[in-house]
Amino acid sequence: THQWRGIIEEYRDRLPVSDSTPVVTLREGGTPLVPAQVLSERTGCEVHLKVEGANPTGSFKDRGMTMAISKAKEEGAQAVICASTGNTSASAAAYAVRAGMVSAVLVPQGKIALGKMGQALVHGAKILQVDGNFDDCLTLARGLSENYPVALVNSVNPVRIEGQKTAAFEIVDMLGDAPDIHVLPVGNAGNITAYWKGYTEYAGDKVATKTPRMWGFQASGSAPIVRGEVVKDPSTIATAIRIGNPASWKFALAARDESGGLIDEVTDREILRAYRLLASQEGVFVEPASAASVAGLLKAAEQGKVDPGQRIVCTVTGNGLKDPDWAVAGAPQPVTVPVDAAAAAERLGLA
């Protein structure tokens, strides 16, 4: 009779909420931590996947959004706005419905996955496609929130980071301590910032005995942190992380340096290889951006950077159903058969 209550109720004492905060929740968080058999074999480590695609709107954004929308409601906001590569907007749209608020979302034209667009539409968001990239959308969203009566719910809003840090809490609560390495895809760099905050908080309060090394991976065509300069025209098939000027850039560098970690890049080819491996060998269907963490781990292992015997968690950030084009592309067409057991058995190689 007891179900997970959502991250605000589960971690209330570690979040900036009070008794007068209206909790707007879809019972996000409490996501599976799945042992990854094939990745463990390949690396000689104990690898786990934190499957954030199991959140209510299919991505980790729900952890931050329950906080952002609850706080916006507490402050009397009637409308919220965000810039997004698709997942933040899907989440904002859903939580705004729960709160009885209007949501407005700014997305880069032609560069968000169909499933995510469908989510924003079906939840009744006001959608503007911007003639520009995510970074342009964020500039516009910030400007609108400064000059009009609308609350910004991007991860530049610090309560988003507070909500997202709960994923690190869940991992420590589940494993009994922090892992040795935590691997994440990096786009706007809010999530790596949030995990690092969660891990350092738990270590500071002696809930964990250590903090992990933070390993972040950007897509090669959108790797400003790796290059050390803004990428004006970012490109990658992993549209969720197609970002050239991350808002939390300096926090990502702090997470890397304070943890003794790294931020590196993976090519689209490496991302797609990891995407297919996760689906076909681990049974976990993620969207391409999510596979950047696993692609990065495999790359590091091939470079000899992964000592065996370590405990490693890879966050896979979003559900594969959001962007199924990549699952279908390049796969063989299913064959059609008559309603005939012999014919079907033959096609299945059973006969």
Please give the radius of gyration of the chain, using alpha carbons only, rounded to the nearest integer: 20
Largest CA distance in the chain: 70
Q: Is 154 annotated as a binding residue?
A: no
287 interacts with ligand F0G by CB under 6 A: yes
Told to check if 55 binds ligand F0G by CB under 6 A, we report no
C-alpha distances in Å from residue 276, one per residue of 186, 280, 288: 20, 6, 9
Residues sharing a CB contact under 8 Å with residue 301, sequence separation 6 or more, in sequence order: 42, 43
Packed helices 61-74 and 87-99: angle between N→C axes, nearest 10 degrees: 40
Query: How many C-beta neighbours within 10 Å does residue 200 have?
Result: 18
Q: Does 157 bind ligand F0G (CB under 6 A)?
A: no
Stretch that binds ligand F0G, among 142-150, 186-194, 268-276, 341-349 (CB under 6 A): 186-194
Residues 295-334 that bind ligand F0G (CB under 6 A): 317-318
Distance CA 122, CA 173 (A): 35
Per the annotation, does 191 bind a ligand? yes
Binding of ligand F0G at residue 103 (CB under 6 A)? no
Stretch touching ligand F0G by CB under 6 A, among 31-39, 181-189, 197-205, 333-341: 181-189
Q: Site for ligand F0G (CB under 6 A): which residue of 6, 29, 190, 244?
A: 190
Binding residue for ligand F0G (CB under 6 A) from 185, 198, 212, 244? Answer: 185
Among 88, 145, 166, 200, contact with ligand F0G (rule: CB under 6 A): 88
Q: Does 66 bind ligand F0G (CB under 6 A)?
A: no
H helix or E strand, kind and range, residue 219:
strand 213-219
Which residue, 61 or 197, is less far from ligand F0G as judged by CB? 61
The least distance separating ligand F0G from the CB of residue 273, rounded to whole angstroms, comes to 17
The number of angstroms, rounded, from the C-alpha of 255 to the middle of its chain's C-alpha atoms is 17
Q: Decide: helix, strand or coil at residue 316.
A: strand
284 binds ligand F0G (CB under 6 A): no
- Listed in sequence order, the residues at least 6 apart from 74 whose beta carbon sits closer than 8 Å to its beta carbon are 20, 21, 22
Q: Which helix (H) or strand (E) holds 96?
A: helix 87-99
Interface with ligand F0G, residue 240, by CB under 6 A: yes
What is the closest distance, in whole angstroms, from the C-beta atom of residue 226 to ligand F0G in the complex? 13
Q: Does residue 236 bind ligand F0G (CB under 6 A)?
A: no
CB of 187 or CB of 234, closer to ligand F0G: 187
Contacts of ligand F0G in 68-87 (CB under 6 A) = 84-87
Q: What are phi and psi of 272, to 5 degrees?
A: -70, -35
Q: Which stretch binds ligand F0G (CB under 6 A): 98-106, 173-181, 189-197, 201-209?
A: 189-197
Q: Which of 25, 43, 59, 133 binds ligand F0G (CB under 6 A)?
A: 59
Q: Does residue 317 have a known ligand-binding role?
A: yes
Residue 337 to residue 345: CA distance in whole angstroms: 10
Q: Does 239 bind ligand F0G (CB under 6 A)?
A: no
Is 108 an interacting residue with respect to ligand F0G (CB under 6 A)?
no
Structure tokens at 238: 């992993």
Q: Alpha-carbon distance 9 to 330, whole Å? A: 44
Helix (H) or strand (E) holding 185: strand 181-185
* Binding residues vs ligand F0G (CB under 6 A): 59, 61, 84-88, 155, 185-191, 240-241, 287, 289-290, 317-318
